[in-house]
Structure 1
Amino acid sequence: MKKIVLASVIGLSLIFTGCAKISSMRAGVQIKSAQKYLLSEDYEKAIVRLNRAIAMDPKNVEAHLLLVEAYQKSDMNEEAEEVLEKLRDFDELTEDQEEKLEALDSRKVYKDILMNFYNTGFIGNYCEVPVDMKGYTSIKDYKENGYWFDLADVTGDGKDEILIYIGNDEHGSHTKIYEVVKDKALGIYIDGSGSLDMTDNNIIVENYLSTTPLKCLKYDSDLKQFAITKDSEIIDKAVDMAGKDKFRKFDFLEVTPDNIIEAVDNMKISDSDLQESTKKPDKKENKRTIANYKELYRDILNEYYNNTSYEHSFRLEDITGDGQDELIVKEDYSVNDPYYCIYEVKGDKVNKIFERSASELRFLEDGNILASYGINYNNELPIYNYYVYDKDISRFRLEKDGGYLQGDKEYFDKLANKPVKLYGWDVDTELNLSNIDEALR
């Protein structure tokens, strides 16, 4: 009798397995058909095929991912979000599937970044709300500045960046650009003043109406920032466009929750996002392209040397632990809070990876940075920022904001007990031509 029961169980198992395989094969046929419709931009038919595939094979991850893509390209954002919610609950996604889900889920990332900006004043590593003893911590509470934003592709990669415009009647206005890298906002143009003057080929033009020399900046995808270009053809075209007032127009909206939701829901998800998610990460380290990579720091040091507005000192030190020295420059524009900039060589270019003032700066043995600013006398909590070096974006990103209302003494005490490689006051080599030559030799 036991043998009969066991045989029956095995038989039923084989039947169910066979049915599952047949359903999976049928779903595969529908998916292949849907992929052809996606390529020909016939999203309506693709959606029909993909829903059929999911009905046949409810746990088919590929069908769900493609369905989100089809819905998003059809501006059916609510339907896309419903499928994304199901996908987030799926177990055992492959690495490629996780990355593609992340790309499709970018609307949530943009909303989170902008809503956090509205609620805290922070975007990327920067707080755009002046924090004083009154404890302003959000855009909704601080009314002395006006805050606007736009989502636009200004790097030419087919993916929207976040543009932030901040206006103040007393102190003027400035525009900043942030690129979304994974789930973080990375500042790629943060020094802009006034409106954003940009040509149709994504060249930023600075100072074209002032007595200050005109500067043109082009996006550098290796450094992930807008860098000054000396290409005469680019500069000539920019000057011509400036004279004809043919800069790009942007549709800035006030930073409010309703505007954020509407703008992000209307945002297009680019093909480059989806293609990027299927690329295999490059395991090779970025190779030095010249024998003496330090020589690339010379132009940066000479620029500081020629700036006589403040006194500067510098030091070369491997602070990120990559086996290659970074350049640290200290600007003594304030006795109590000197300003620090850190540069690294990446390939054959120099990338700025950190800039911040601090009463005390600690370069930790683990490659991270602790910047402290004293004590908030309202609540006796330490004021500090903790920065972690992020290889993915070649920057120090803000890991912990121990601001005026968020000191968190226990967290600070743990950081303060970490081994220190050097302090800010160790950046003490006088910036002169002789010392530059000696350091770069």
Structure 2
Amino acid sequence: MRKRFLSVPFAIVFSIFAGFLQTPFSAGVIKDGVQKASQNSVTGDDNYKKIYRDILTNFYNTGVIGSVDEFYDSPDVDTYKSIDDSILNFYYFTLADVTGDGQSEIIILKRRTNWFFNSVVQYMRIYKIFNGKAVQIFESGSYSPYLFLDNNIIVQDYSECNRDDIGIWAYDTSICNFTLLDDGKDSELIASAKDSLQNNRVKLSSDSIMDFPVTLENIAEAVEKLPDPGIDLYHNITKESKGIASSYKSLYSPILHDFHDDTSKFKLMDITGDNRDELIVKVMPKGEDFYGIYGIYGIVDDKPRLIGFVTNSGGDFFVFDDNTLLSVDFSEYGTYGSEFHYYSYDPDISRFTLVKEGQYRNGDRDYLRELLKKPIKLRESDIDTDINDANIEAALK
């Protein structure tokens, strides 16, 4: 699998997806909208603590945090009364500022035994509060721990992995997401991460999170200790529209040339409603390993960034007229057991975010059937332009 999309060490034989990868990186500078909110808004105790408490309590009771559903693919999901009913998974959490803006993120660690390899896999997810809601900003899975460095970088523990396969992520304020660093484009940030490791500038380890299982008692204790972020978490992000040069399409050229001479296809189309074309790249199309990966690039802060990432196996991919995305993993749409993931574009953070994922929960089948009634702007088969020099030149004129 191509490292441009996947951020998991290649030793793992199944797919777990992490943050989006960008081209030239911008990290460590808080967005203007967040800064303004910090300066102009003050939160009371009942306000910001209630947000965290409600989000975590709902996660304990339902397995849902933000739009991420831990149990949607379990046939027994409607019998669960809390995450304790999932006997194969064990959940831990902490609240800590790992993006450097003074606001605590919700870090969820799931541990699951892989009986085939006789080892334990840990899945790390990080959520940030935007406008009162939890939005996922990092996801990855590994047999090795994660280290959170003091420069807002996440590193897989070098002591457990081959250095060539190590994942290093930094927080990109332009799309409010941790993104996988590239050895060539992000060499300075990677050097900074290694320097922090060598000098033991580590603020948090995923191993330490295992001291705090997700229980109602631990949620209450952690929330009570939360420092006031000094911002209104119900209105903590805004973004000003920026003009862009008419030649913006040329910025996609390095992305397309990176996929040159492989089996990928591409399409240029406005699927965010901003009157500019986004670049959709289809990697590993159906028929090749029975897997589809769709990367959506947009121009954010004058640079091309991966603003959407969708996968499916043997199903289909749609963009609807309202610029929402749907991935369905089975061809018999609308029937019991059809897995789906539904996304919408969030202009406040300049990327697509999950709206709902479903399969076995009560109501999922009807929800999917209603989605499939929506007018379609683009489907998987429409992403059909080969990536070669002639097609790149013609598309980017």
TM-score of the alignment, normalized to the shorter chain, above 0.5? yes
Aligned residues: 339
Q: TM-score, normalised by structure 2?
A: 0.72
- Matched with 1:127 is 69
| Cα distance between partner residues in 2 of 1:329 and 1:200 | 34
- Matched with 2:355 is 399
- Matched with 1:68 is none
- SS at 1:205 equivalent: strand
Q: CA deviation at 1:224?
A: 0.8
Structure 1 residues 329 and 139, CA, compared in 2 at 3 Å: closer, same or farther? farther
Between stretches 426-435 and 403-412, larger displacement belongs to 403-412
User: 2:171 aligned with 1:219, yes or no?
Assistant: yes
User: 2:378 aligned with 1:422, yes or no?
Assistant: yes
Q: 1:421-441 CA distances to partner (integer Å, 9 max, x unpaired)?
A: 111221122234443333233
| Cα distance between partner residues in 2 of 1:153 and 1:240 | 21
| Cα distance between partner residues in 1 of 2:330 and 2:236 | 46
Alignment of structure 1 residues 203-282 onto 2, 5 Å: 203-206=153-156, 208=158, 209-212=161-164, 216-227=168-179, 228=181, 230=185, 232-250=187-205, 251-252=208-209, 253-271=212-230, 273-274=231-232
- SS at 1:357 equivalent: strand
- Matched with 1:343 is 297
Q: Which structure shows the bigger proportion of residues in strand conformation?
A: 2
Contact 1:103 1:277 in 2 (8 A): no
Q: 1:80-125 CA distances to partner (integer Å, 9 max, x unpaired)?
A: xxxxxxxxxxxxxxxxxx9756996222222232233333333344
Unaligned runs of 5+ in 1: 1-97
Q: Percent identity?
A: 35
Contact 2:334 2:365 in 1 (8 A): no
Contact 1:152 1:162 in 2 (8 A): yes
Amino acid at match of 1:172: V
Q: Which structure shows the bigger proportion of residues in helix conformation?
A: 1
Considering only aligned residues, what root-mean-square deviation do their CA atoms show, in Å? 3.6
Q: TM-score, normalised by structure 1?
A: 0.66
Q: 1:7-55 CA distances to partner (integer Å, 9 max, x unpaired)?
A: xxxxxxxxxxxxxxxxxxxxxxxxxxxxxxxxxxxxxxxxxxxxxxxxx
Amino acid at match of 1:143: I
**Higher normalized contact order (CA 8 Å, seq sep 6+, divided by chain length):** 2
| Cα distance between partner residues in 2 of 1:376 and 1:264 | 44
| Cα distance between partner residues in 2 of 1:213 and 1:427 | 31
Q: CA deviation at 1:304?
A: 4.0
Contact 2:280 2:294 in 1 (8 A): yes
Contact 2:318 2:326 in 1 (8 A): yes
Q: 1:290-331 CA distances to partner (integer Å, 9 max, x unpaired)?
A: 44222333333344448x6xx422211101211011121222
Alignment of structure 1 residues 17-96 onto 2, 5 Å: none
User: 2:120 aligned with 1:176, yes or no?
Assistant: no
Q: 1:190-228 CA distances to partner (integer Å, 9 max, x unpaired)?
A: 236332223222222347441415554332212212232
Larger of the two Rg values belongs to structure: 1
Between stretches 205-214 and 160-169, larger displacement belongs to 205-214
User: 2:93 aligned with 1:144, yes or no?
Assistant: no
Structure 1 residues 103 and 393, CA, compared in 2 at 3 Å: closer, same or farther? farther
| Cα distance between partner residues in 2 of 1:278 and 1:363 | 29
Contact 1:219 1:225 in 2 (8 A): yes
Unaligned runs of 5+ in 2: 1-39, 115-119
Alignment of structure 1 residues 288-303 onto 2, 5 Å: 288=244, 290-303=245-258
